[in-house]
Amino acid sequence: MKSVFFCRAISAALLLAPLTAASAEPLTIAKMGSMEAGGTVIDCQTVDGGDPNNPRQTPGRLVVNQVYASYLYPQDQRYPYPILFNPGGGHTARFYDTTPDGREGWLTLFARAGFPTYGVDRVNTGRSGSDICKLNAVRLGRAPVNEIPIANRYSAEAAWVSFRWGPKFGTAYPNTQFPIDAADAYYPQTLTTYRDPAETQKSVAAFAALIDKIEAPGVIIQSWSSSGLLGYLTAAERPDKVKGILAIESSTSAFDDIPEAKKKILAKIPIIIMIGDRAPDRNESSRKFQKEMVALGGNVTVDVLPEAGIYGNGHTLAAEKNNKQTMHRLIAWMEGNVFNTDKKAGQPPSPDEPPPPIIPNSTSGSSSRRQAK
């Protein structure tokens, strides 16, 4: 394997200036819409938890365990693979939309850069809907209490510390990149997440079904936090369609939950794991995974932002003040590790054009460089 270095200067020179100018211009959309994918039809006899004899709520068939995705294709599409944005636990794809302080989020910023974007709500969250049958059955006395799904939601106090905005609630780190004055606008984005172990496979099945429905030569999976495991497992189910993984702050336990057989499949897919400031546990677990994957012939970059001189990022990178800067780094990595085209509808460069620049991997470890065909 050949050791290479992640080139910040090339990234900034090629990408930062054009996108800063473009962000002030109207975004021209070729098509946009939404879809559901996956799901299971069940017979639910407890559709109403208040009045089981409600004539307007007849027991019967319901579709559960599906995902919802909105999509946006820019008129100036320069990359052939859509990016599928997956939220972490306690969030929906709303997280990738307008930031708490009113700036553009990654759904539109990446679209301005020429990528089709999909905002995915995982199973049993947000616009994907929730399976309420067991909840109602327990309320009506038709099922034991232990059949209530495990669920949680971030409090303001928990989010502040867990997402590394500051050492304690109400006290911010001096260099925090989170728009701390807009924290009150952020809290309503959080929502209840079902945490039963069975939710993982439900989400993977539905996410794979979504990839099957997307008419594109391939897709890029973007994951965040607990959806990191979902992204890895889904990519292993669709290795011919998934061309790269942009993993933001994968949960520390995610890598041990990937079966060895699936790690061998993931070795065919280039992966970047981006990590913010003050996260030694994530650094350690990600580098351990990197070493495992390199031994299997994989291409894994661990991009620890403070090592690149970028400080103050917490767990919520996509919503933080330098979300354009982190986006440019991800695009630069894709230029060197995923694409070998001129990004114009996936066509090869003309003979008189120079090849696209090679943006090497991070200093976080060695790996082989692999490009999509």
What pLDDT sits at residue 340? 66
pLDDT in the model for residue 12: 39
C-beta of residue 109 within 8 angstroms of C-beta of residue 19: yes
User: Which residues in the chain come in under a pLDDT of 70?
Assistant: 1-24, 340-373
Q: Which two tokens stand for residue 363?
A: 């200093």
In this predicted model, what pLDDT tens digit does every residue of 69-113 receive, in sequence order? 999 999 999 999 999 999 999 999 999 999 999 999 999 999 999
How many domains in the chain? 1
Give the pLDDT confidence score for residue 334 in this predicted structure: 96
Domain enclosing residue 73, as ranges: 8-31+69-122+164-337
Tally DSSP H helices, then E strands, for the chain.
Answer: 11, 10
By the 8 A CB rule, do 191 and 90 touch? yes
Rounded to the nearest 10 degrees, what angle do helices 198-213 and 227-237 cross at? 50
**Ramachandran region, residue 236 (left: φ > 0; alpha: ψ -120 to 50; beta: rest):** alpha
Which of 213, 28, 37, 207 has the alpha carbon at shortest distance from 108? 28
Residue 24 confidence (pLDDT)? 63
Closest CA to 333 of 107, 15, 98: 15
Q: With respect to residue 317, please indicate whether it lies within any of the assigned structural domains.
A: yes
2 found inside a domain: no
Q: Is 141 a member of any domain?
A: no
Which DSSP helix (H) or strand (E) runs through 271? strand 271-275
Residue 61 lies in a domain: no
pTM: 0.86
Instruction: Look at residue 271 and tell me if it is in a domain.
Output: yes
The dihedral formed by the CA atoms of 314, 317, 321 and 324, expressed in degrees to the nearest 10: 150
CATH at residue 26: 3.40.50.1820
Q: How many Å apart are CA 52 and CA 102, to the nearest integer?
A: 44
Give 62's strand partners.
42
- Give residue 45's pLDDT: 96
Cα-only R_g, the chain: 21
Q: What is the pLDDT of residue 124?
A: 96
Inside any domain, residue 368: no
CA dist., res. 317 & res. 16, Å (int): 17
The amino acid at 58: T
Q: Is residue 235 part of a domain?
A: yes
SS3 214: coil
| 183 within a domain of the structure (yes/no) | yes
Cα distances from 14 to residues 136, 284, 311, 328, 358, in angstroms, run 55, 31, 22, 9, 11
